[in-house]
A = this chain, B = another copy of it.
Amino acid sequence: MADRQLYFQNLALTVGAAHSRYGAIPVTETQTPHTELAGEPFSAEIYSDDGSVRADFLDRVVASVQHGDVEALASSVAGLHESELGDLIEALDAEDRRSLVIQLGDRFDFSSLTEVDEAIRMDIIEALPNEQVAHALKALDSDDAVYILEDLAEKDQAEILAKLPFTERIRLRRSLDYPEESAGRRMQTEFVAVPPYWSVGQTIDYLRDSEDLPHSFSQIFVIDPTFHLVGAVDLDQILRTPRPVKIEEIMHETRHAIPAEMDQEEAALIFEQYDLLSAAVVDENERLVGVLTIDDVVDVIQAEAEEDLKRLGGVGDEELSDSVIETTRSRFTWLLINLATAILASVVIGLFDATITEMVALAVLMPIVASMGGNAGTQTMTVAVRALATRDIDIYNASRIVRRELTVGFINGVIFAAVMGLVAALWFSSLSLGIVIGLAMIVNMVCAALAGILIPLLLDRIGIDPAIASSVFVTTVTDIVGFFAFLGLAGWWFGI
């Protein structure tokens, strides 16, 4: 036994080198590969190669649902991870989806509802009696329960909460009292906390004896009797420390406690910056009220990145499952604003209608000037919006970046002015026209660079999300400047 242990100790320590192609592979037992392994992840059972739910699996589930064969249904979904069940639900049509949840009853894993689109979640919850929803929420972690509750109508929310036991009701209600998208909404109120004077041994004994621990945890918090946070200990620290050592000797100060009111995006930035797995959430009196975990933060990071991308693309917080009406509405505002700015640009063109009538080549070429400016401006703006979101632009580099953008805009302006000037001169056999479009391009691309960087900076400064509004301002500038510069220069040059 002793040499076995030694072997494995050695293995644990040198594992990095031991079975590289350069080193020997220690073999002491059989080499028969294990079957439930990497090559066959469990998820392979429900997903096809392109990542969608496998058709035959889906058919089996649909058949069970439609024949009301609850046992077959239950055995099909047994053992699915909540996210797999969520994907299955999303792949079903609305009626089968509701049927599945109703038929499974208590055997339906409610946490899967945190993995589906909001529209689908609402549809299912509304199909269920509030009684059943309340019963199901009891089994969930508080953060999942809040996630499901927060989008419900006030009335349903209150009814469901009223059916919950006192302590759970209080916990959930407190989370719901924090602002939307705050750390308090995303935190889990189940956590483990011990006093600083406990020993490691005492803590481990306590964990072994407790029957009501959170489903999982990666940190133990240290608090004083008034619930003020004193520090935290990572579990690996506890495991490598001898039993008699006091917790206060191995704990680290919690430098990054998250106020419950803090916006989730800001909390996510702290997690990212300090590579946290979990962080204490404290109330306004700095007392521990919950724990924010990295898996929720990952969802926040994804959601925020998605929000920026969608806002830049001019779509609201629509989801793939939204109906035609919702989608039309969510895109309407942006299109209306774009129409207004497009008309504005047209008015600029209208100023030069006499010039265009004299020289129709101007009408043919003018979209090129506007389009190149629009693209150059969008490039600069994309970089600026992203850098603002990740807080990579600050007072130290802002002026350097503005200078850089101006220079880049000028250089690209000159290059493309030359190219396009040549094309235009050859196309319309007019050197003058080539010179005019070249000059207009340089003017517009420099303005595009300026607009692309200054507009997001300005919007950010006055507290408007640059992702949501930059695009429309930038393209308005580049359209108007583009048309004005090109048509104006042409009118002056050709004396029309």
Contacts and interface: CB of A to CB of B under 8 A. Distances in A.
A29 interface: yes
A119 interface: no
A305 B314 contact: no
Given A320-B387, A342-B371, 12 more contacts: A16-B167, A43-B255, A208-B242, A235-B239, A239-B239, A301-B305, A313-B381, A335-B372, A339-B372, A345-B367, A345-B371, A353-B364
Contact of A339 (B36, B192, B240, B420): B420
A286 B394 contact: no
B16 A290 contact: yes
A61 B108 CA distance: 59
B383 A318 contact: yes
Contact of A81 (B273, B343, B349, B393): B273
15 contacts: A8-B194, A9-B210, A13-B210, A13-B212, A20-B171, A22-B170, A29-B224, A33-B228, A38-B280, A50-B394, A90-B396, A301-B302, A313-B378, A323-B404, A356-B360
A91 B394 contact: yes
A interface residue count range (under 10 / 10 to 19 / 20 to 34 / 35 or more)? 35 or more
A5 B298 contact: no
Nearest to A40: B255
B8 A198 contact: yes
A271 interface: yes
A130 interface: no
Interface in A20-36: 20-23, 25-31, 33-34, 36
Interface string A269-301: 001111101001011011111100011011101
Nearest to A331: B379
Chain A residues touching B, majority SS: helix
Interface string A236-255: 10111110000000000111
A349 B364 contact: yes
B81 A37 contact: no
Nearest to A211: B13
Contacts of A13: 210, 212
